[in-house]
Chain A
Amino acid sequence: MSLFEDLKLNVEQGKKEAVLALVAQALDQGHSAQQILQQGLIAAMDIVGAKMEQEEMFIPEVLRAAKTMEAGLEILKPLLGVGDMQVSGKVVMGTVKGDLHDIGKNLVAMLLSSAGFEVIDLGINVAPAVFAQKAEATGADFLGMSALLTTTMPMMAATIEELEKAGLRGRVRVLIGGAPVTQAYADQIGADGYASDAGAAIKVAKELGAVKA
């Protein structure tokens, strides 16, 4: 197996020690950090993404692969130029006020960060004003809201209003999701994106990022 094949396989299998050794070995052999990132780490995560979509991998395996990829990236970071490492965007996210469900939100947060987004997780029961403050303070590109209850869904609209009041609506893209939430509801309250699951959330966030850029 070639070095890169080996590296990809070990990322996919979440074997951190092996990945660290293989990244070091690749550097020793004279491969550039950029090449190792693209042909090794990112290529591995593309395979992982596809396998997840085809339901061949369990989510914890995907998360471990992502962590492993990040460990490898740590070695490369000092060697990479600014342009080599695009962060997909900064996301402030949480479960809306009155709502304590967070399993879906956590999953979306983990997968977004595996996909290269910087995620600032505000937890559960987040009031509209807090969302707006944090979005402002962190300079977020995205605001992600999750609601699992029909009783708490209206908080999404209230949060968007709060963003408007704070003059942030132009800068911050709003992404929403959760079992009772629909595309129609997103349209109704003027959210920029809706996703029915974590995989879709990443796609939508990337699309929104591209539109903005």
Chain B
Amino acid sequence: MTQLRNASQVGRLGFLSEQNKRDIYLAALEVLANVGMRVYHEEAKTLLLEAGCTLTPQDRVLMPRHLVEQARLCVPSVVNLYDRDGTLALELGGYNSYFGPGSDLMSTYDLETGAHRPSTLKDVARAARLCDALPHLDFIMSSAHPTDQDPHLSYLLSFAEMMQNTRKPLVMTAENERDLSVMIQIARELRGGAEALRQKPYLVVYNEPISPLEHPEESLSKLLLCADTGVPSIYSPAPLAGATAPITVAGHTTQGVAESLFGLVVHQLRKPGAPFLFGIGPAVLDLVTAQSSYNAVEYLMTYMCAVEMAKWLDIPNWGYAGTSDSQLLDAQAGMEATQITFLAMQAGSNLSHDVGYLDFGLTGSLEEIVLVDEFISMNRRLLAGIEVNRDTLALEAIAEAGPGGQYMTSEHTYRYMRAVQWRPTILNRHGRERWLADGGLDLAARARQKALDLLATHQVPALPADLAVKTDELIGAFAAAGA
């Protein structure tokens, strides 16, 4: 059994009682059994109907409780991800929490000029290399969406860039099962075969149903392909409270739980025991400005409920961190990005993405990624908790110092200081004179400087030449077939 690290002594902010969780689960089961969902994928529909679901005259699939319970018995509680080299990197489950950037941002704040401009394939590569260098970003998503490429090749080309520019595991979006199957083929080449990739997953696929209660053809095709190939799949809806989901936190959570569990059942019916991530993208439609907020306080509440439900169901979860609705990297961005990240960390949200999002998921900032990396670093220290034992109680050191003494030269200080004192890399701890001498920069400017420095120096070992050739071939063949 995988041993999960667990900051168990640290108290967690809980929103749901045991009874609340049961009630939400039962309400979700009721939605599945009595309201039903629409399924736009014939094979998946047949799979469900043969397993005991029924079809209403309005073409809704009703799912009985026992199918959900059966899927829960089959689905793994821990999903392991391996890096490009095949080394175990992430153990998703329990209270382990890992972080990564988001995907598909259409615009980017240019690191060099500060200009707000359309994202390009180069941005995907740069984000991957920067995140490779940052120790507290654990997995990689595309961050940018390459608007300078053939749209139908965009996900595949991003995948190739990401593979070249980071060793960390990847989470991918894909247009449909066709480009996804090419990604999987390339990953198999990397690992040395289908079975090797199944044993050591390198990528996770982000699939989404459509709220309310619809499961499109593309999402289910990708979900089934993941089940077949052993590539871990996320199945997380983005119900927008007030627009495509109930406005109340409990109702929002209930619908999201039902939608994600529906995918779980399809996935486990296809391949019992295949790796799956539960999740809810608890978006909130601001009913005054009509923007889809990633940081509304109700968003954070539904998010925390989703994580608590994942723990209760004992299924690894997909989550969110490091986002801001602000238009630029300002004090609002600092406030919002850190609040959601801290909540994710303390809740033990397993795989949290979207670090570096601004502008409701439309604009990316590498500086924000650097900032959040620092914040995660600091709070990993905080949530590791406090060790209380004879030595840390420091009775001897206190006696030694005595009244009027000091600890600067104490053996105890010397032994512990590097382990106890967390060091910032960009937060300022200099006095006014030194800060002015260093240029009098604010935090955003220092984050920018750090990003520039890392991008100038950080190298990722090249992929084996034959793999690079093979990748180009596979993408070339896909492009040719499409045209």
Binding site for B on A (CB under 8 A): 55, 57-60, 100, 103-104, 106-107, 149-154, 179-180, 197-198
Is B289 located at the chain interface by the 8 A CB criterion? yes
Residue of A nearest to B219 (CB): A100
Note all chain A residues with C-beta closer than 8 A to B216: 100
Q: Once bound together, how far apart are the Cα atoms of A180 and B288, in whole Å?
A: 21
Note all chain A residues with C-beta closer than 8 A to B290: 59, 104, 107, 197-198
In the complex, how many angstroms separate the beta carbon of A21 from the nearest chain B beta carbon? Answer: 29
Evaluate contact between A150 and B289: CB separation under 8 angstroms: no
Evaluate contact between B152 and A103: CB separation under 8 angstroms: no
In the complex, how many angstroms separate the beta carbon of B414 from the nearest chain A beta carbon? Answer: 56
Contact status of A150 and B243, CB under 8 A, knowing A100-B210, A198-B290: no
Evaluate contact between B151 and A154: CB separation under 8 angstroms: yes
Residue of B nearest to A180 (CB): B106
Is B154 located at the chain interface by the 8 A CB criterion? yes
Q: Once bound together, how far apart are the Cα atoms of A59 and B287, in whole Å?
A: 5
Q: Which 5 A-B pairs have the closest CB atoms?
A: A151-B151, A58-B287, A55-B288, A59-B287, A103-B243
Note all chain A residues with C-beta closer than 8 A to B292: 103
Evaluate contact between A55 and B289: CB separation under 8 angstroms: yes
Evaluate contact between A151 and B175: CB separation under 8 angstroms: yes
Note all chain A residues with C-beta closer than 8 A to B243: 103, 106-107
Residue of B nearest to A103 (CB): B243
Is B240 located at the chain interface by the 8 A CB criterion? yes
In the complex, how many angstroms separate the beta carbon of B109 from the nearest chain A beta carbon? Answer: 17
Residue of B nearest to A153 (CB): B151
Q: Once bound together, how far apart are the Cα atoms of A151 and B152, in whole Å?
A: 7
Note all chain B residues with C-beta closer than 8 A to A100: 210, 216
Binding site for A on B (CB under 8 A): 106, 145, 147, 151-152, 154, 175, 210, 216, 240, 242-244, 285, 287-290, 292, 362
In the complex, how many angstroms separate the beta carbon of B9 from the nearest chain A beta carbon? Answer: 43
Point out the residue from A60, A106, A150, A198 that lies within 8 Å of B287, measured CB to CB: A60
Q: Once bound together, how far apart are the Cα atoms of A144 and B166, in whole Å?
A: 42
Note all chain A residues with C-beta closer than 8 A to B147: 150, 180
Q: A100-B216, A151-B154 are in contact. List 6 more A-B contacts (CB 8 A).
A: A103-B285, A106-B243, A150-B154, A151-B152, A152-B151, A179-B362
Q: Once bound together, how far apart are the Cα atoms of A153 and B151, in whole Å?
A: 9
In the complex, how many angstroms separate the beta carbon of B396 from the nearest chain A beta carbon? Answer: 63
In the complex, how many angstroms separate the beta carbon of A139 from the nearest chain B beta carbon? Answer: 30
In the complex, how many angstroms separate the beta carbon of A135 from the nearest chain B beta carbon? Answer: 25
Note all chain B residues with C-beta closer than 8 A to A149: 151
In the complex, how many angstroms separate the beta carbon of B94 from the nearest chain A beta carbon? Answer: 34
Evaluate contact between A150 and B151: CB separation under 8 angstroms: yes
Note all chain A residues with C-beta closer than 8 A to B145: 150
Q: Once bound together, how far apart are the Cα atoms of A167 and B289, in whole Å?
A: 38
Note all chain B residues with C-beta closer than 8 A to A106: 243
Q: Once bound together, how far apart are the Cα atoms of A149 and B103, in whole Å?
A: 13
Q: Once bound together, how far apart are the Cα atoms of A152 and B243, in whole Å?
A: 23
Can you list 21 A-B contacts with CB-CB less than 8 angstroms, sorted by A residue number? A55-B288, A55-B289, A57-B288, A58-B288, A59-B287, A59-B288, A103-B240, A103-B243, A103-B244, A103-B292, A104-B290, A106-B243, A107-B243, A150-B151, A150-B154, A151-B151, A151-B175, A153-B151, A154-B151, A180-B106, A180-B147
Residue of B nearest to A107 (CB): B290
Residue of B nearest to A150 (CB): B147
Point out the residue from A104, A107, A150 that lies within 8 Å of B106, measured CB to CB: A150
Note all chain A residues with C-beta closer than 8 A to B210: 100
Note all chain B residues with C-beta closer than 8 A to A57: 288
Q: Once bound together, how far apart are the Cα atoms of A154 and B175, in whole Å?
A: 15
Q: Once bound together, how far apart are the Cα atoms of A107 and B154, in whole Å?
A: 29
Q: Once bound together, how far apart are the Cα atoms of A154 and B242, in whole Å?
A: 30
Q: Once bound together, how far apart are the Cα atoms of A75 and B151, in whole Å?
A: 51
Q: Which of the listed residues A57, A151, A153 has the most CB atoms from chain B within 10 Å of its own CB?
A: A151
In the complex, how many angstroms separate the beta carbon of B242 from the nearest chain A beta carbon? Answer: 7
Q: Once bound together, how far apart are the Cα atoms of A173 and B147, in whole Å?
A: 27
Q: Once bound together, how far apart are the Cα atoms of A74 and B184, in whole Å?
A: 59
Q: Once bound together, how far apart are the Cα atoms of A135 and B210, in whole Å?
A: 27
In the complex, how many angstroms separate the beta carbon of B103 from the nearest chain A beta carbon? Answer: 12
Q: Which of the listed residues A57, A100, A198 has the most CB atoms from chain B within 10 Å of its own CB?
A: A100
Note all chain B residues with C-beta closer than 8 A to A59: 287-288, 290
Q: Once bound together, how far apart are the Cα atoms of A152 and B152, in whole Å?
A: 9
Q: Once bound together, how far apart are the Cα atoms of A103 and B238, in whole Å?
A: 12
Note all chain B residues with C-beta closer than 8 A to A152: 151
Q: Once bound together, how far apart are the Cα atoms of A20 and B203, in whole Å?
A: 60
Evaluate contact between A179 and B106: CB separation under 8 angstroms: yes
Residue of B nearest to A149 (CB): B151
Residue of B nearest to A101 (CB): B210
In the complex, how many angstroms separate the beta carbon of B179 from the nearest chain A beta carbon? Answer: 10
Q: Once bound together, how far apart are the Cα atoms of A197 and B286, in whole Å?
A: 13
Q: Once bound together, how far apart are the Cα atoms of A153 and B285, in whole Å?
A: 23
Q: Once bound together, how far apart are the Cα atoms of A107 and B243, in whole Å?
A: 9
In the complex, how many angstroms separate the beta carbon of A9 from the nearest chain B beta carbon? Answer: 21
